[in-house]
């Protein structure tokens, strides 16, 4: 198939690359000239395991190319995917101006039938608006179909998720685009669920909100564990053995963040409200998440008392493991709140330091995680990178002024840490 992807970010670049990998001819469009230049020169603007190699391989075969021109993308393709941002507005609703802008550009460039597929995460009924927009701004008599095809990839595992998806959701309002969508996804050998556009859009918001709910649920349970002397990891393990519940997303922590969960949750609450339903359950998910961060910071201040002029080491800046993405990262929020209290920070992240430096220029960035603890009054684990488990704990303890660790991700074994002489505070244990 000849495919254009408008928006070459985390979703667009990985999707375009994986489509090329399975044999489609893909042109990725982005309005960011610097990004397109970097990609054309053989660079990759984001970190995703395995992505570099696939981009190189597929640009090499000529199946993957990059441009700043939406017109060119539309001219060369039969199916056009939209993967532009849908950021939150201050009131929690979604800023749909990127989607609307791209819809107008596509409409202006279309001279014959095209299938326009929305892959960005959008509130239910956005497909209807996109169709209206294309009708309004398109050339008379040019036919098109709108499809909703929400993306479920996890950052940090995006290539793997794209190549081996657990499901593909396709929302259509007529049978005409069905065959082309089947051909796009045929090589992926995954279950395809075909539904109407509104249901497809809702599946994405309902899924992400449910996952956020699962995290907040175990975080609320972690408070009861702390108050009663139980261990949240054992509770989660015991719950997760019930296959109706499942163990995943039951990791107590300092809370969720990232570019998707917080915004999708508030967008779902907002669209529900517009449709006349007060989704109080999801508002509580947000409250629990915000409180979890406050509770973690309280643990730090209660232990260290005054933070002004204390030196604190922070392991992890990305919003989760395996990514360089720091958008809405809880780790960044901790750093900002510690800095606000006057603390000095020594920080490390395997992949996210370049992006964090722009937001946190005051911190001292270390190249080796084993140097972070040197001279620190406390160490904070803020992201669940598995390599942090390999930290030289003996060296860390010797280098610190006080051997105190606040583990916001429950990475270490409690009794082991105590044996090593640390004051060790984690979540729900
Ligand atoms: N990141 C994720 O894990 C993830 C997962 C599933 C769904 N989504 C959804 O996918 C969408 C994109 O998210 P992302 O994380 O890839 O965003 P991103 O910010 O990484 O990428 C978006 C890209 O679109 C480009 N862009 C903006 N306006 C444009 C225009 N008019 N023409 C061409 N390019 C334009 C930007 O320059 C940027 O490169 C969002 O709706 C998001 O909610 C994201």
In this predicted structure, what is the pLDDT of residue 345? 98
Which pairing describes strands 192-195 and 168-172: parallel, antiparallel, or unpaired? Answer: parallel
Q: DSSP letter for 193, please.
A: E
Decide: helix, strand or coil at residue 288: helix
Catalytic: which of 28, 225, 260, 335?
Answer: 260
Residue nearest to atom 30 of ligand 1 (CA): 31
CB distance 179 to 145 below 8 Å: no
Q: Is 145 touching ligand 1 by the criterion CB < 6 Å?
A: no
pTM: 0.96
CA distance 53 to 50: 6
Are the beta carbons of 42 and 65 closer than 8 angstroms? no
- The three-class DSSP label of residue 82 is strand
DSSP 8-class letter at 1: -
What gap in Å lies between CA 240 and CA 214, rounded to an integer?
11
Q: Which residue, among 47, 59, 75, 72, has the nearest Cα to 21 in the 3D structure? A: 59
Q: Check pocket membership of 316 for ligand 1, CB cut-off 6 A.
A: no
Reading the block at residue 374, the tokens are 């040197």
Q: Is 317 exposed, middle or buried (0-12, 13-18, 19+ CB in 10 A)?
A: buried
In contact, 126 and 156? CB cutoff 8 Å: no
* pLDDT, tens digit, 9 for 90 and up, residues 296-341: 999 999 999 999 999 999 999 999 999 999 999 999 999 999 999 9
Give the number of the atom of ligand 1 that is nearest the alpha carbon of residue 101. Answer: 31
Residue 176: what pLDDT?
98
CA distances from 185 to 29, 149, 215 (A): 20, 11, 31
Position 328 scores a pLDDT of: 97
Q: Note the pLDDT of residue 334.
A: 98
Q: Which residues of the chain have pLDDT under 50?
A: none
What does the pLDDT read at residue 277?
98
Distances (CA, A) of 391 to 1, 371, 413: 48, 10, 13
Query: DSSP E strands: which ranges in 260-414?
Result: 311-315, 344-348, 364-365, 378-381, 404-407
* pLDDT for 383: 98
Instruction: Tell me whether residue 402 is one of the annotated catalytic residues.
Output: no
SS3 71: helix
Q: What is the pLDDT of residue 91?
A: 96
Q: Token digits for 410?
A: 């429950």
94-98 own/partner pairs: CB under 8 Å, 24+ apart: 94/122, 94/123, 94/263, 94/267, 94/270, 96/122, 96/123, 96/126, 96/129, 98/7
Q: Which of 12, 31, 33, 85 to mutate to test the pocket of ligand 1 (most atoms within 8 A of CB)?
A: 85
For residue 196, the model assigns a pLDDT of: 98
37: Cβ–Cβ under 8 A, 6 or more apart, which residues? none
Q: Is 110 in the pocket of ligand 1 (CB under 6 A)?
A: no
C-alpha 59 – ligand 1 centre gap (Å): 21
Cβ(12) – ligand 1 distance below 6 Å? yes
Ligand 1 and 121: CB distance under 6 A: yes
Spell 110-134 as b/e; 16+ CB within 10 A means b.
beeebbbbbbbbbbbebbebbbebb
How much is the pLDDT for 73? 98
Which pLDDT score is estimated for 398?
Answer: 97
The model's pLDDT over 161-194, given as tens digits with 9 standing for 90+, comes to: 999 999 999 999 999 999 999 999 999 999 999 9
Looking at residue 147, its pLDDT comes to 98
Evaluate whether 177 touches 147 at the Cβ level (below 8 Å): yes
Residue bearing tokens 């990998």 = 21
Supply the DSSP symbol for 350: S
Number of helices and strands (H, E) in the chain? 16, 14
Burial grade of 247 (CB within 10 A; 0-12, 13-18, 19 or more): middle
| Ligand 1 pocket test target in 5, 6, 12 with most atoms within 8 Å of CB | 12
């Amino acid at each position: 198939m000849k495919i254009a992807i408008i928006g070459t970010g985390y979703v667009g670049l990985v999707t375009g690359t994986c489509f090329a990998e399975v044999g489609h001819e893909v042109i990725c469009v982005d309005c960011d000239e610097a990004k397109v230049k970097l990609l054309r020169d053989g660079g990759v603007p984001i970190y995703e395991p395995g992505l570099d190699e696939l981009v190189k391989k597929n640009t090499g075969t000529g199946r993957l190319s990059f441009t700043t021109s939406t017109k060119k993308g539309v001219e060369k393709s039969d199916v056009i995917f939209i993967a532009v941002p849908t950021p939150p507005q201050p009131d929690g609703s979604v800023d749909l101006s990127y989607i609307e802008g791209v819809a107008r550009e596509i409409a202006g460039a279309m001279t014959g039938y095209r299938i326009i597929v929305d892959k960005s995460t959008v509130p239910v009924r956005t497909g209807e608006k996109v169709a209206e927009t294309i009708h309004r701004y398109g050339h008379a008599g040019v036919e098109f179909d709108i499809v909703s095809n929400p993306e479920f990839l996890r950052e940090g595992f995006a290539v793997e998720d794209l190549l081996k998806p657990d499901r593909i959701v396709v929302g259509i309002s007529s049978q005409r685009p069905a065959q082309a969508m089947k051909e796009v996804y045929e090589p992926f050998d995954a279950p395809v669920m075909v539904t109407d556009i509104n249901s497809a859009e809702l599946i994405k918001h309902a899924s992400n909100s449910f996952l956020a709910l699962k995290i907040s649920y175990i975080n609320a349970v972690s408070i009861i564990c702390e108050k009663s002397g139980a261990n949240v990891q054992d509770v989660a393990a015991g719950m997760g053995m019930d296959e109706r519940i499942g163990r995943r997303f039951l990791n107590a922590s300092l809370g969720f963040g990232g570019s998707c969960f917080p915004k999708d949750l508030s967008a779902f609450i907002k669209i529900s409200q517009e449709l006349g339903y007060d989704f109080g359950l999801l508002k509580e998910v947000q409250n629990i998440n915000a409180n979890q961060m406050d509770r973690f910071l309280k643990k730090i201040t209660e232990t260290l008392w005054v933070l002004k002029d204390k030196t604190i080491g922070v392991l992890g800046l990305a919003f989760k493991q395996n990514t360089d993405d720091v958008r809405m990262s809880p780790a960044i929020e901790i750093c900002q709140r510690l800095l606000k209290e006057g603390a000095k920070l020594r920080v490390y992240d395997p992949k996210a330091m370049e992006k964090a430096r722009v937001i946190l220029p005051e911190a001292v960035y270390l190249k080796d995680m084993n140097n972070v603890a040197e001279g620190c009054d406390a160490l904070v684990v803020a992201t669940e990178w598995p390599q942090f488990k390999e930290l030289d704990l003996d060296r860390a303890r010797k280098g610190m002024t006080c051997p105190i660790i606040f583990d916001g991700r429950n990475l270490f074994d409690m009794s082991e840490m105590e044996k090593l002489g640390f004051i060790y505070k984690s979540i729900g244990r």
